């Protein structure tokens, strides 16, 4: 059933985007080098999995502008534009534990 | 644009729910089966094998690694300084096997890129559709006169973590207070650009706290190095009596080593130590050259999207062994490249073009237990190489309160735990 639904979606423009969105958008795979996927890792860096995308976007834009104090995230956020940040936040938000 | 983005986000949520498992991409665009062999079970290779299986469970993924236990280099300078146990550096491959990766604990003896097969040490031949080489580094025993593998038993390199790490630690522990420690750092490129300077810092920390009459002298084949001003500021503040750095232009380049005499020779003189740590010049792990994927520099040139070898078809090279443009040779880099490479391979096997990647590197260095500094970068392909994304990246601020340094030291600890779990499960 899922496959049928997906095939139907593939016929549309949204479907083409969807097919590509199955894999992480550019940059997202690197985040989990510091932001643990696993719940059991003890680290001060917050997990991104399942987090509300709007919160991640707000944090990244504040890091990027310098409005939010940071140790390292200001330097990393500056490497992404708003669309790229939104795509990464949406992807992590969509992942389930 | 906005409409499309919204629908894409909604679709993502739906897909996530339908897929039902964390980070498992549905076998949709990438459903094609295939056989991938990965050689080298470090942060690059192990990370890549695991990511391949998660992205497409239909793939046959084999990881070839000579050792049943991986001993990590990041944080191993803390072991040398007596701040950590070597066990904290070690990871098994059970988690990776659990994810469906077939483990083979043997050395790879050869690769035939035309026939697309790997020969193992025991003669077994394994066929592949795509091969990932992540062999890390080998030390160049021909590069520094007198510094042979046998010499490294007297003057450890400790640049591959394990027995060498413990040897250097024991030598420091048994040294009398007042003894001179001599270290040499190589010219670029080499594994972990800030590594020698983190090590110098932590050895100085050990001397200051345990052997206060002793001193470390660092002989460098370079005039500039990673996070240089941050390190030098910290040394001035923390270790003014315990650490001296001799640059290339001040005569720091080591030209010969004498293991029997525990002496390093430079153009300007010689330095005899009670303990001598030689970080020698390096090259890609041996299998890279056997596969024909290393060039005359000893390293492996790759294109910057899927990290395909520019010398051999069907072979990808990631991590320290590869030439990655602006991206440094670090565990974080290797792991980030591993995940990009895995996604690219899934697409290539499905007959589609890999997406243009964006990569991140983050390198923590600990100059004292409560004093951490970082360098970060964001990278993208441009004209055939990975380049820095302008305006991003850089090092920790030169002026920062102790609380910031302590925070970065805490994040460093968290990073090590995270990258361990990310790679080995």
Per-residue pLDDT tens listing for chain A (97 residues): 344 444 333 333 333 333 334 679 999 999 999 999 999 999 999 999 999 999 999 999 999 999 999 999 999 999 999 999 999 999 999 998 7
> CB-based contact (8 Å) between A51 and chain B?
no
> CB-based contact (8 Å) between A17 and chain B?
yes
Per the structure block, which two tokens stand in for B354? 């890999």
Where exactly are the structural domains of chain A?
25-94
Nearest CA among B350, B187, B298 for reference residue B253 = B187
B151-281 belongs to CATH 3.50.50.60:
yes
ipTM of the complex: 0.89
Given a cut of 70, whether residue B25 has pLDDT beyond it is: no
- Per the listing, tokens 């923590």 go with B364
Q: Which segment of A41-50, B5-14, B174-183, B400-409 scores lowest on mean pLDDT?
A: B5-14
Chain A residue with the nearest C-alpha to that of B346: A23
Pairwise CB contact (< 8 Å): B13 & A19: no
pLDDT of residue A22: 61
Pairwise CB contact (< 8 Å): A40 & B421: yes
Chain A residue with the nearest C-alpha to that of B372: A71
Where exactly are the structural domains of chain B?
151-281
CA B375 to each of CA B14, B307, B411: distance values in angstroms, whole numbers, following the listed order: 37, 23, 13
Given a cut of 50, whether residue B293 has pLDDT beyond it is: yes
- The alpha carbons of chain A give a radius of gyration, in whole angstroms, of 15
pLDDT of residue A23: 79
pLDDT of residue A90: 96
The tens digit of pLDDT for each residue in B170-183 reads 999 999 999 999 99
What residues contact B275, with CB distance under 8 A and at least 6 apart? B168, B171, B172, B175, B179, B181, B182, B262
In a mutagenesis test of the A interface, which of B42, B347, B360 is the best target, namely the one with the most A β-carbons within 10 Å?
Answer: B360
What's the fold here for domain A25-94? Cytochrome Bc1 Complex; Chain D, domain 2 (1.10.760)
pLDDT of residue A10: 38
pLDDT of residue B206: 98
Q: What is the C-alpha to C-alpha distance for residues B305 and B353, in angstroms, rounded to an integer?
A: 10
CA A53 to each of CA A79, B334, B349: distance values in angstroms, whole numbers, following the listed order: 18, 27, 31
- Cα A28 to the center of its chain, rounded Å: 6
Going by pLDDT thresholds of 50, 70 and 90, the confidence category of residue B1 is: very low
Going by pLDDT thresholds of 50, 70 and 90, the confidence category of residue B31 is: low
Given a cut of 60, whether residue B15 has pLDDT beyond it is: no
Chain A residue with the nearest C-alpha to that of B401: A71
Given a cut of 50, whether residue B349 has pLDDT beyond it is: yes
Q: What is the C-alpha to C-alpha distance for residues B413 and B398, in angstroms, rounded to an integer?
A: 21
Given a cut of 80, whether residue B13 has pLDDT beyond it is: no
């Amino acid at each position: 059933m899922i496959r049928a639904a997906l095939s139907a979606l593939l016929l549309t423009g949204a479907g083409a985007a969807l097919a590509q969105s199955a894999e992480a958008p550019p940059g997202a795979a690197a985040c989990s080098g510091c932001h643990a996927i696993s719940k059991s890792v003890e680290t001060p860096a917050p997990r991104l999995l399942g987090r509300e995308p709007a919160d991640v976007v707000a944090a990244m834009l504040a890091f990027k502008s310098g409005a939010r104090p940071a140790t390292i995230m200001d330097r990393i956020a500056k490497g992404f534009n708003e669309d790229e940040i939104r795509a990464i936040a949406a992807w992590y938000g969509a992942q389930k534990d | 644009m906005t409409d499309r983005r919204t629908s894409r986000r909604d679709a993502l949520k739906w897909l996530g729910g339908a897929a039902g498992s964390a980070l498992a991409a549905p076998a949709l665009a990438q459903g094609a089966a295939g056989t991938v062999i990965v050689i080298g079970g470090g942060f690059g290779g192990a990370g890549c094998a695991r990511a391949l299986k998660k992205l497409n469970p239909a793939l046959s993924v084999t990881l070839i690694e000579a050792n049943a236990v991986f001993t990590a280099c990041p944080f191993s300078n803390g072991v040398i300084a007596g701040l950590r146990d070597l066990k904290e550096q070690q990871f098994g491959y059970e988690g990776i096997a659990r994810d469906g990766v077939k483990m083979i604990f043997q050395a790879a003896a050869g690769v035939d890129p035309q026939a697309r097969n790997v020969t193992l040490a025991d003669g077994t031949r394994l066929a592949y559709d795509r091969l990932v080489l992540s062999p890390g580094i080998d030390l160049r025993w021909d590069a520094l006169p007198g510094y042979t593998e046998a010499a490294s038993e007297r003057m450890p390199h400790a640049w591959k973590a394990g027995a060498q790490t413990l040897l250097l630690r024991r030598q420091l522990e048994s040294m009398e207070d007042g003894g001179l420690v001599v270290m040499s750092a190589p010219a670029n490129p080499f594994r972990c650009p800030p590594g020698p300077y983190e090590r110098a810092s932590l050895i100085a920390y050990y001397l200051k706290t345990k052997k206060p009459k002793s001193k470390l002298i660092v002989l460098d084949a370079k005039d500039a190095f990673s996070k240089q001003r941050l390190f030098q500021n910290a040394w001035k503040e923390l270790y003014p009596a315990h650490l001296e750095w001799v640059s290339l232009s001040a005569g720091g380049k080591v030209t010969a080593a004498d293991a029997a005499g525990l002496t390093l020779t430079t153009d300007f003189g010689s330095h005899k130590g009670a303990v001598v740590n030689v970080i020698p010049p390096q090259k890609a792990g041996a299998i890279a050259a056997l596969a024909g994927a290393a060039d005359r520099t000893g390293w492996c040139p790759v294109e910057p999207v899927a990290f395909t070898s520019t010398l051999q078809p069907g072979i990808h090279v990631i991590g320290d062994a590869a030439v990655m443009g602006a991206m440094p040779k670090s565990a974080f880099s290797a792991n980030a490249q591993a995940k990009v490479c895995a996604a690219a391979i899934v697409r290539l096997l499905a007959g589609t073009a890999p997406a243009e990647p964006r990569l991140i590197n983050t390198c923590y260095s600990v100059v004292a237990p409560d004093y951490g500094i970082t360098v970060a970068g964001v990278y993208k392909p441009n004209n055939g190489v990975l380049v820095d994304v302008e305006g991003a990246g850089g090092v920790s601020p030169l002026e920062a309160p102790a609380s910031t340094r302590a925070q970065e030291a805490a994040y460093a600890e968290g990073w090590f735990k995270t990258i361990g779990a990310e790679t080995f499960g």
